Amino acid sequence: MQKHINTFLDQVVGREIICKSSYFVGRTFYRLYSNKGFIVAEFSIAGRKTSPPTIALYRSKQIDRWVSGFFGISIDESHEHVVNWFDGIHGVKKPEDFRKYIYTRLI
């Protein structure tokens, strides 16, 4: 099923990702946009003086719902497939991978 979901997401959402930042209530927030204009994820980075920054990641519930409805699976299963699709394309497995990925896509 992952193969079919990957094809669906490639065609509907798009494979290329850019990152845009915005400032709101004293914090910087980021959005990952696909080349077809969909928000794939949103996140913020909390900096700490004594340890590496942490990332608060918010998934795209819209994409999870589409996959869930189209393939007749639960939202949680759908989200797992979306995460696997994203990881398969962009190789983001660990938080430090995600931080590096974000900074290479920021415009």
Dist CA 24 CA 35 (whole Å): 24
Phi and psi at residue 36, in whole multiples of 5°?
-105, 10
pLDDT digits (tens, 9 = 90+) for 43-96: 887 766 666 767 788 888 999 999 999 999 999 999 999 999 999 998 887 767
The two structure tokens encoding residue 40: 């794939």
Alpha helices (H) along the chain: 2-12, 61-71, 75-90, 95-105
The two structure tokens encoding residue 86: 């994203």
pLDDT digits (tens, 9 = 90+) for 6-31: 999 999 999 998 888 888 887 788 88
Asked whether 89 and 73 are in contact (CB, 8 A), the reply is no
What are the residues facing 28 on neighbouring strands? Answer: 23
Residue 81 has what pLDDT?
A: 95
pTM attached to this predicted model:
0.81
The two structure tokens encoding residue 61: 């519930």
**CB-based burial of residue 86 (10 Å sphere; 0-12 exposed, 13-18 middle, 19+ buried)?**
buried
In the chain, where the domains are located:
2-105
